[in-house]
Amino acid sequence: MTEMLGNQFFMARKYEDALRIFEKCKEKGELNKNIMRKMVVCYTQTGKIQEAAKMLLTLINEDLDFVLNTDPVKDDCPCSELVKEYESRLQISVESFDFLTSLGILWLYCDLNKSVCYFKKASEIYPDNSIVNSILSKLMSRQTLSEKELNNN
């Protein structure tokens, strides 16, 4: 019941309300990959970028394919809309660590290569951030594997 309510808030793009409900699921030990994926988005939209990055790292350590195979329609993922909004601000915004990290996180649900680009930029600004560096390392390893697969075919 709680997860369904969180999903309703998420679909309505009421990220703070959805996050509040999903955090209750987490407290009750009802956390699953679907909730985690949505919580990552909610964290980015409520300004909790480090929490988003931590949860994303947990999720990709558990199942990177689950994240990479997100279906924007079926999974009601707003990331493609959000990255367009964020990238439209690139011209007028200072490229801060949190801003670039958010873009890296959101792009991961849509495009691995673009995600890696933004995580690299974030890492250049704050090279000692172990969470972003761990995410970047995992994603670059996946890129390398994908390139090898392409070359073998």
Structural domains in the chain plus CATH codes: 2-152 (1.25.40)
pLDDT tens column, 97-152:
999 999 999 999 999 999 999 999 999 999 999 999 999 999 999 987 665 555 55
Q: Give which of 74, 61, 69, 11 is closest to 38, Cα–Cα.
A: 11
- Looking at the whole model, is its pTM more than 0.85? yes
Greatest distance between any 2 Cα atoms in the chain: 47
- Please tell me the distance from the alpha carbon of residue 97 to that of residue 120, in angstroms, as a whole number: 10
